[in-house]
Amino acid sequence: MAKASIKGYSYCLNHVPNIAFHYGNTPFTERLLRGETEFIKNLKNKMQSYKEACAYAPNQAYIGGITLAELEQQPSPMYENRLKSCDRFGKYGEIMPEDEFIGLMDICDVFDIIWLEEIFASEIKSKLEGHSLLNESQLKRLEAGHPQEEIMKEVNENEALPLYLGERVVGCCRRGHETDECLSSYVLLENIACKAGGVLSLLHLMKNAGIKPEEIDYVVECSEEAAGDANQRGGGNFAKAVAEIAGCVNASGCDVRSFCAGPVNAVIAGACQVASGARKNVVVLAGGAVPKLFMNSRDHIKKDMPALEDCLGGFAVLLGPSDGENPVIRLDALGKHSVAAGASPQAITSALVWEPLQKLGLDFNDIDKYAAELHIPEITLPAGAGDVPLANFKMIAALAVMKGRLEKSAMNEFVKNKGIPGFAHTQGHIPSGVPFIGHACDAIKANEMKRAMIIGKGSLFLARLTNLSDGASFIIEPGQKEEEKAALTREEIREAVLDVLQGLAEDLKKQQ
Amino acid sequence: MDLQNQQRVKDAAEKYGAENVVVVLGSSDPEGAEIYAETVTNGDPTFAGPLAGVSLGLAVYHVFEEEIKGEADPSVWEEQVGMMEMVLDTEALAAAVKKIREQYSKYSL
């Protein structure tokens, strides 16, 4: 049976309200089309401080600062019931403040695209030196900075985008080419931020998994950004660029894309490399999406609530050969949404949930927890998109009823027991099932859970190439101890040898 | 409703005549359904798209309304929509669209 172990995981957020305010697609487009409107002015008053973002329960659940059980206990609205005590670091990762993240973007910039203002550069240098995961060679990459006039000249004359902390311009993101739209300052800001988020998650992953950078063999990146130029718009490769900064000198990598289904497809791609023996330590990772920051802020402002979408999401998962200890991904029962499967929610749910269960002779109830589209409901509800995770669990329950595997009256109970609360930012690829891998593996290792199903779904039609959507799923279960397997194999060998000997003896008898 | 879809609806009404076009909504949220219904009857309430200030008055129904469900082959309905019927608040969705239709639609089935 083909399996790959999940040997480590990390989850990080980058709290970047100023990048969100200026370059999130919703406020950015508003400013471009209509200028400094009422919406923009109101948005400014609804931004959260770093402390507030840190004390927001779903953010702590994401970085492993609190458990999902604790998140469920949190009174709503959670933005009015913030946690009393909370830390920058959780057991999976951290919430990095914006000033340090801008510094990290500069560390990740190898083409002198990010310029830092010199006073800010020296301030942030001493801060980043205090970060336990950044080593000397990474810190050395931080530039000394430019005088404020040079930054403003670049902004005013060469289309660089200013980087702000409040009213203060602390740097800028320059363009990579004078006419190539794929190398505009906006696209490069998006890509460098995504790269930096991926690097931060990879650094935390290596710490969490106790693995050295040089031991990583391959990186699969699965964000929704496109790196390239006019002749190859989505040429790639974020994975290798991230591995380079993190010091993974023996790694190569590639990018996998499928909108929000990217991460699940990428985990499958990585796990298959591991299970086939092609590569040993494979990392699947992604940083966040700048354009999706403050995506639903118009609705949040209307409902007089804080603009919650101020964090870039990132994650990293380490996959390795099945080791008997760590939870495993089963590759013999992957959910696949085929071209012909159909686009109705029923067809999708059936392909992603029911078909893999049938392959293993399992029932809906044999999965302890399902994880699909884990958006924070407080973010999506005011925007008219509903409680997305809840809708998914209801669909699975309803499908179980249709398949005659569940009483209709037991639907609510099923949803309550098998679902989990949404705790991921509306960062597209980030909410799609993968944030649960960490919590699920912890529960499996603690014998509190037997099986989890991770489900990814992607809206391919947004790219105007096909009307199809995409989806993929996999099941995580406990790793099997090697001893048992070895004992069983020895037993089998003994029996086989006995059979052969017996046959031989009989042949000899006959010959006599 | 995004700008492309508004344009498609507008084009269809011009090509076939508003009296010959029926818009069937599959929205999962009553508030969203109301906005879609309003867009194709009274005009785009956000004044952002091709239907801003254009009152087409089209006949608009949610797929869960009896007028539409009654037209569907029961086995196809079961296969394609049955599950979502259990998941969504079908009555609220139907009521939301009906309210807008009664207010703004010039045509009906």
DSSP assignment, residue B43? -
Tell me the CATH class for A1-480: alpha beta
For residue A431, pLDDT over 90 is answered with: yes
If one compares A168 and A490, the residue with the highest pLDDT of the two is: A168
The minimum CA-CA distance between B84 and chain A, rounded to whole Å, is 7
Q: What is the mean pLDDT of chain A?
A: 95
Strand partners, A260: A258
Residues forming a β-bridge with A258: A260
Q: Provide the greatest CA pair distance for chain A.
A: 104
pLDDT by residue (tens digit) across A449-495? 999 999 999 999 999 999 999 999 999 999 987 555 555 667 778 88
Report residue A383 CA to chain centroid gap. 22
From the CA of A340, how many Å to the nearest CA of chain B?
14
Residues of chain B with Cβ-Cβ distance to A383 below 8 Å are none
* Pairwise CA distance, residues A352 & A177, whole Å: 43
Dist CA B30 CA B97 (whole Å): 8
Interface contact A399-B83, CB threshold 8 A:
yes
Q: Which residues of B touch A (CB under 8 A)?
A: 28-29, 31-32, 35, 79-84, 86-87
Could you tell me how many helices (H) and strands (E) chain A has, helices first? Answer: 21, 13
Contacts of A490 (CB under 8 A, 6+ apart): none
**Per-residue pLDDT band at A123 (split at 50, 70, 90):** very high
Which of A397, A385, A219, A361 is CA-nearest to residue A300? A385
The pTM of this model reads 0.91
Give B33-60 pLDDT, tens digit per residue.
999 999 999 999 989 899 999 999 999 9
Tell me what the mean pLDDT of segment A88-115 comes to: 98
Scanning every residue of chain A, which has its alpha carbon at the shortest distance from the alpha carbon of B27?
A385
Average of per-residue pLDDT across A273-297:
97
Report H helices in B17-52. Answer: 30-41
For B50, other C-beta atoms within 10 Å of its C-beta total: 18
A330's tokens: 């089963």
Report how many Cβ contacts below 8 Å link chain A to chain B.
43
Q: What is the pLDDT of residue A485?
A: 52
Per-residue confidence (pLDDT) for residue A385, from 0 to 100: 85
Q: What is the pLDDT of residue A482?
A: 58
- Check CB contact under 8 Å for B80 and A384: no
Check CB contact under 8 Å for A385 and B29.
Answer: yes
CA distance A323 to A280: 12
Query: Which residues of chain B make contact with A411, given a CB cutoff of 8 A?
Result: 86
Is residue A290 classed exposed, middle or buried when 0-12, 13-18 and 19+ CB atoms within 10 A define those classes? buried
Q: Is A107 in contact with A138 (CB distance < 8 Å)?
A: yes
Contact A398 B29 (CB under 8 A): no
Asked if B87's CB is within 8 angstroms of A391's CB, the reply is yes
Q: What pLDDT does A508 receive?
A: 83
Q: Which residues, listed in sequence order, are joined to residue A4 by a DSSP beta bridge?
A: A321, A329
Q: Which ipTM was obtained for this model?
A: 0.83
Residues A314-364: pLDDT tens digits?
A: 999 999 999 999 999 999 999 999 999 988 899 999 999 999 999 999 999
CB contact under 8 A, B32 and A401: no
Check residues A113 and A512 and name the one with the higher pLDDT.
Answer: A113
pLDDT for the residue numbered A424: 98
Minimal CA separation from A349 to chain B, in Å: 10
- The Cα of A456 is separated from the nearest Cα of chain B by a number of Å equal to 19
Mean pLDDT, to the nearest integer, of B78-87?
92
CA Rg value for chain A: 25
Does the CA dihedral A41-A95-A455-A419 come out positive or negative?
negative
DSSP A246-293: TT-TT-EEEE--BTBTHHHHHHHHHHHHHHTTS-SSEEEEE---GGGT
- What are the backbone dihedrals phi and psi of residue B79, each rounded to the nearest 5 degrees, phi first? -75, -35
The pLDDT value given to residue A354: 98
Q: Measure Cα distances from B99 to B34, B54, B56 in Å.
A: 8, 19, 16
Cis upstream peptide for A97 (omega within 30°): no
Q: From its phi and psi, is residue A422 left (phi > 0), alpha (psi between -120 and 50) or beta? A: beta
Residues A359-402: pLDDT tens digits? 999 999 999 999 999 999 999 999 988 899 999 999 999 999 99
Q: What single-letter amino acid sits at A57?
A: A
Q: What is the pLDDT of residue A15?
A: 98
Neighbours of A304 (CB within 10 A): 9
